[in-house]
Amino acid sequence: MTNVPTITLNDGAKIPQLGFGVYQIDPDETADAVKTALDLGYRHIDTAEMYGNERGVGEGIRNAGLTRSEVFITSKLNNGFHRPDDARRAFDGTLKALGFEGDDNYVDLFLIHWPLPTLYDGDYVSTWQTLEEFKKDGRARSIGVSNFQVEHLERLARETETVPAVNQIEVHPYFTNEAVRAYGNDHGIATEAWSPIAQGKVLDDSVVTRIAEATGKSPAQVVLRWHIQRGDIVFPKSVTPKRIEENFALFDFELSGDDVDALSGLDKGEEGRTGPNPDEFDYIPE
Ligand code: NAD
């Protein structure tokens, strides 16, 4: 049904390179938005405990008439639950909220949402070892991290057994995050690019609009295609059906090498971040 390429992760699992992100989608609107995306052909949904909408993700999949194994689901550990016992309870909560029974009671990918190096005595290692349990018992088919810097990844490599399957980090033309991507590339960790269109902020850049005019595609399609050609995994978010459809139509055109380089050249380094710096971020939900 879809022509979305898959990426093979370091544990052999396959993930669709393009998915649908549900950050900031109202819990009451999530089932409908997810169903719209699935009806259009998306087969990969990115949610998190902190988004408060995992229940809607499960409902949307069932409402679309799809079976559990037809959709790749990612969720992420709430920042408030890094201690191992809390993480175990939180993970049980994720599976319960998704609402699948028996053999379908699993996530495809579970991530530590943020490293929080200034909290929990700097211990994200025992948190990672707890995710290793979820992988061993089969309730998380793959495990990974999000917002981990090179130093955090190096520490996991020294002190634990499992190399994360993915690192989900902020990446877009204004913040290309090359050092973290390069570490992933060198160590078999797939990069997932969050806020792939910088929440819309890159769309009126003159380089983006020039390439959009030349290719006859929209600015969002040009930027998303740039990610695809760089090999990263993306899951743009929208609740507008027309945009959800537009963001999925990325496989009938190609950017030239010069266009890819021109978009990469928009990088502003640290100034280009739209989100927080993971070295400092210490948000715990109420
Ligand atoms: P995004 O870059 O996908 O931008 C989303 C916004 O851009 C939408 O709210 C809409 O206003 C606009 N938009 C979407 N499609 C458009 C189009 N075709 N034309 C014009 N405007 C359009 O930002 P995001 O939601 O922050 O990131 C995507 C996903 O990444 C999230 O839903 C979530 O799953 C994930 N994410 C993860 C983290 C993390 O810490 N791991 C942080 C942020 C986001």
Q: Which pLDDT does position 243 carry in this prediction?
A: 98
Distance 245 CA to ligand 1 centre (A): 14
Cβ density class 147-158: b for 16+ within 10 Å, e for less: bbbeebbebbee
Cβ of 194 closer than 6 Å to ligand 1, yes or no, is yes
CA distance 92 to 200: 34
pLDDT tens readout for residues 44-71: 999 999 999 999 999 999 999 999 999 9
User: What tokens were used for 90?
Assistant: 């939180």
Count Cα atoms within 13 angstroms, Cβ side, for 112.
30
Tell me what pLDDT residue 2 has: 65
pTM listed for this prediction: 0.98
* Cβ–Cβ < 8 Å for 219, 204: yes
Is the Cβ atom of 175 under 6 angstroms away from ligand 1?
no
**185 CB neighbour count, 10 Å cutoff:** 13
pLDDT score for 150: 98
Residue 254 CB partners (closer than 8 Å, separation 6+): 225, 229
pLDDT for res 108: 99
Closest Cα to atom 24 of ligand 1? 195
Question: How far, in Å, is the centroid of ligand 1 from the Cα of 244?
Answer: 11
Decide: 112 and 123 in contact? Cβ < 8 Å.
no
Helix (H) or strand (E) holding 77: strand 72-77
Q: What is the pLDDT of residues 175-207, one digit of tens each?
A: 999 999 999 999 999 999 999 999 999 999 999
Residue 243 beta carbon below 6 angstroms from any ligand 1 atom: yes
**pLDDT given at position 121:** 98
List, in sequence order, every beta strand (DSSP E) within 176-282. Answer: 190-194, 233-234
Sorted by sequence, the CB contacts under 8 Å of residue 274 that are 6+ apart come out as: 170, 172, 174, 175, 195, 198, 199, 201
107-112 and 72-77 strand pairing = parallel
Which stretches of the chain score pLDDT less than 50? 1
Query: What pLDDT is recorded for position 122?
Result: 98
Output the pLDDT for position 184. 98
What distance, in Å, lies between the first and last C-alpha atoms of the chain? Answer: 42
Q: What is the pLDDT of residue 185?
A: 98
